[in-house]
């Protein structure tokens, strides 16, 4: 992927963040002939959580001309979500509105960004450090092209979009309202890893998302994201992580205790780096 080291200084729209939202917006704006710059701090491909796409995403992927590429990458096709309680009678299946995909975000986000660039969006790497205001309007940003660079670069836009996801740039800069965590949910932590040799259901059912529910605020996801890899995450109250002694221990605890079916599925499995994330349920008000 070609990344510009220097960018022109003025655009119709400047987008900060090239996750799924930023790149999709950049694609549509560029396709409409609007000049757009999308700035991203990470070097792609980069890991990200959020692998099970919703049915509503399918028509957008079709519209962006990416359906063939999704199949070429062998992303599993998701027809729905199977929810399993501890007892068999507590099982149900929720079909998605349109069949969709489970993705490796490191690949998917790169595909979206490349598509935006093909459509005419400009992209440059850099970490936005400040927004530039004139009165109550945001008219540009200052970004650091590379870590360690002392000088910030300036870029201006008639519209500046915060697509930084959980980084909530505008809230941090006092442009939007404060980030407000939802008390009950923000006391939960997700601990997750990518697994090889996890046991899937046979046939198409094996490509769906499985949710294993144990009790309130104790559950797990099981998302096949390639022919070999399943993303498994355990969601528990924060206190459980302290009780277990860390994220690795919490994952082991969850695999053993959340659901007997999950336990069976990971018996022969091995997994890589264990990651965790907390405080991910919040709102920003006003959103601007
Ligand atoms: C535990 C967990 C599980 C989830 N599972 C699912 C799921 O299965 N399915 C689903 O649909 N969603 C899921 N989500 C939600 C999903 O991850 C998000 O909705 C989605 O990633 C949001 O996309 P985005 O483009 O808004 O932000 P992001 O994808 O987070 O992209 C933001 C981008 O902005 C960049 N950035 C941040 N700050 C700056 C800066 N200052 N300068 C430049 N760039 C910056 C970041 O590097 C990043 O690339 C999950 C979320 C969590 C926490």
ipTM field: 0.98
Q: What is the rounded average pLDDT for all residues in the chain?
A: 94
Residue 202 Cα to ligand 1 midpoint, Å, equals 31
- Quick one: average pLDDT of 45-50? 97
Q: Which of 179, 198, 233 is the last residue of a domain?
A: 179
Tokens of 50: 């959020």
Q: Are residues 175 and 187 in the same domain?
A: no
How confident is the model at residue 6, as a pLDDT? 56
Asked if residue 172 is part of any domain, the answer here is yes
Q: Are residues 164 and 131 in the same domain?
A: yes
Asked if residue 284 is part of any domain, the answer here is no
Q: If we measure between CA atoms, which residue out of 225, 234, 159 comes closest to residue 194? A: 225
For ligand 1, atom 10, which residue shows the shortest CA distance?
50
pLDDT band at 287 (very low <50, low <70, confident <90, very high): confident
How confident is the model at residue 90, as a pLDDT? 80
Asked if residue 64 is part of any domain, the answer here is no
How confident is the model at residue 172, as a pLDDT? 94
Indicate if the pLDDT at residue 185 is higher than 70. Answer: no
Q: Are residues 161 and 272 in the same domain?
A: no
How confident is the model at residue 86, as a pLDDT? 80
pLDDT band at 283 (very low <50, low <70, confident <90, very high): confident
Name all residues whose Cβ lies below 6 A of ligand 1: 16-22, 39-42, 48-54, 127-128, 163-167, 169, 190, 277, 280
Asked if residue 153 is part of any domain, the answer here is yes
For ligand 1, atom 18, which residue shows the shortest CA distance?
50
**What is the extent of the structural domain holding 87?**
76-102+183-278
Q: To the nearest whole percent, how much of the chain has pLDDT over 90?
A: 85
Q: Which atom of ligand 1 is nearest to the CA of 57?
A: 11
How confident is the model at residue 195, as a pLDDT? 98
For residue range 196-245, list pLDDT tens digits in order: 999 999 999 999 999 999 988 899 999 999 999 999 999 999 999 999 99
Mutational test site, ligand 1, from 37, 112, 147, 164, max ligand atoms within 8 Å of CB = 164
Q: Are residues 197 and 271 in the same domain?
A: yes
Indicate if the pLDDT at residue 63 is higher than 90. Answer: yes
Q: How far apart are CA 133 and CA 136, in angstroms?
A: 7
How confident is the model at residue 205, as a pLDDT? 96
Mutational test site, ligand 1, from 3, 18, 19, 124, max ligand atoms within 8 Å of CB = 19
Residue 18 Cα to ligand 1 midpoint, Å, equals 9
- Quick one: average pLDDT of 153-159? 97
Residue 109 Cα to ligand 1 midpoint, Å, equals 10
pLDDT band at 12 (very low <50, low <70, confident <90, very high): very high
Residue 16 Cα to ligand 1 midpoint, Å, equals 12
For ligand 1, atom 38, which residue shows the shortest CA distance?
164
For ligand 1, atom 29, which residue shows the shortest CA distance?
19
Tokens of 195: 């697994």
Q: Are residues 112 and 255 in the same domain?
A: no
Q: What is the CATH number of the domain that holds 212?
A: 3.30.9.100
Tokens of 182: 């939802």
Q: What is the CATH number of the domain that holds 19?
A: 3.50.50.60
Residue 231 Cα to ligand 1 midpoint, Å, equals 16
How many domains does the chain divide into?
A: 2
Alpha helices, DSSP H, located in the chain: 20-31, 58-63, 67-72, 105-118, 169-172, 183-186, 238-244, 247-257, 260-265
pLDDT band at 5 (very low <50, low <70, confident <90, very high): low
Residue 264 Cα to ligand 1 midpoint, Å, equals 31
Contact criterion met (CB below 8 Å) for 86 and 259: yes
Q: Are residues 242 and 207 in the same domain?
A: yes
Q: Are residues 121 and 216 in the same domain?
A: no
Indicate if the pLDDT at residue 138 is higher than 70. Answer: yes
For residue range 81-118, list pLDDT tens digits in order: 999 998 767 899 999 999 999 999 999 999 999 999 99
């Amino acid at each position: 992927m070609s990344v510009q080291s220097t960018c022109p200084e003025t655009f119709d729209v400047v987008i900060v963040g090239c996750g799924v939202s930023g790149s999709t917006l950049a694609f549509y704006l560029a396709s409409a002939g609007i000049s757009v710059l999308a700035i991203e701090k990470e070097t792609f491909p980069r890991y990200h959580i959020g692998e099970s796409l919703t049915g509503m995403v399918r028509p957008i992927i079709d519209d962006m001309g990416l359906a063939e590429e999704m199949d070429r990458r062998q992303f599993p096709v998701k027809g729905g979500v199977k929810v399993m309680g501890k007892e068999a009678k507590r099982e149900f299946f929720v079909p998605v509105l349109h069949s969709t995909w489970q993705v490796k975000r490191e690949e998917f986000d790169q595909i979206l960004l490349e598509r935006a660039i093909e459509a005419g969006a400009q992209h440059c790497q850099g970490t936005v450090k400040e927004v530039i205001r004139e009165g109550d309007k945001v008219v540009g940003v200052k970004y650091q092209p590379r870590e360690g660079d002392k000088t910030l670069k300036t870029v201006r836009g008639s519209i500046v979009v915060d697509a930084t996801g959980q980084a909530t740039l505008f809230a941090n800069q006092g442009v939007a309202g404060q980030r407000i965590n939802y008390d009950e949910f923000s006391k939960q932590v997700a601990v997750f890893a990518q697994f090889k040799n996890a046991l899937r259901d046979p046939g198409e059912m094996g490509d769906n998302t499985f949710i294993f529910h144990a009790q309130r605020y104790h559950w797990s996801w099981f998302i096949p994201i390639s022919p070999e890899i399943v993303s498994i995450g355990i969601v528990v109250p924060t206190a459980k992580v302290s009780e277990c002694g860390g994220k690795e221990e919490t994952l082991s605890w969850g695999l053993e205790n959340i659901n007997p079916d999950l336990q069976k599925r990971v018996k022969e499995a091995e997994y890589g780096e264990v990651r965790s994330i907390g405080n991910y349920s919040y709102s920003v008000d006003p959103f601007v």
